[in-house]
A = this chain, B = another copy of it.
Amino acid sequence: MKRIGAVLFDGFEMLDYFGPLEMFAAYPDTFEIVAVAENAAPVRPSGGPQVVPDRVFADGADYDILLVPGGMGTRREIENTVMLDWLRQASAQADLVTSVCTGSVLLAKAGILDGRKATTNKRAYDWVSGQSDQVDWQRSARWVEDGKFFTSSGLSAGIDMGLAVVARVLGDEAATNAAFWTEYIAIRDPDNDPFAAGDS
């Protein structure tokens, strides 16, 4: 059983979070989804209803897989040392560390992606990449795998990254089946990025 720590903060982006979680939820005997936040209070995404954390940071950083969504809230969270410290601790313990969209800015700011290839939302590329020059940022990638780190492009790209995680854990056929069950037309090639950032 792989326990997924799916990080919540106010202003997270709904699809960044629930897209990959839906792929993991296709295999409930393999993936246990735990919503984790700094505090126990319900968290409000951009434009949607509040979500209730299952656990808080103080309960531990013991997750096999970490999922960090993006969203407008990342603008605030890059200054939140409680968040960055916890991400550092949880990433060190996790087998796989994943982010969607601007979620990678939190990993980058915490130094977790130093020396790694990574990507982000292509509409926020300049802001995100400007937060750390220690990361080998990729302008064109649906998602990037570098060792145990999976960082995806914006929103919907997180679904494809989620399928790549399913493939890493359970094999390629499991990912194909999850896409079929969810009637999702997947991009299975990480280098196929129809939304690549142009030169700045």
- List residues of A whose CB falls within 8 A of some B CB: 6, 8, 13-15, 17-19, 21-22, 24-25, 28, 33, 35, 42, 46-54, 121-123, 153-157, 159, 180-185, 187, 194-195
Chain A interface secondary structure, helix, strand, loop or mixed? loop
* Other-chain contact of A15, B52, B53, B182 (Cβ < 8 Å): B182
* B33 A48 Cβ-Cβ under 8 A: yes
Number of copies: 2
* B33 A47 Cβ-Cβ under 8 A: yes
* B185 A6 Cβ-Cβ under 8 A: no
* Chain B residue nearest in CB terms to A195: B183
Also in contact, A21 and B33, with CB within 8 A (given A157-B183, A182-B155, A184-B155)? no
* Other-chain contact of A14, B22, B42, B47, B52 (Cβ < 8 Å): B22
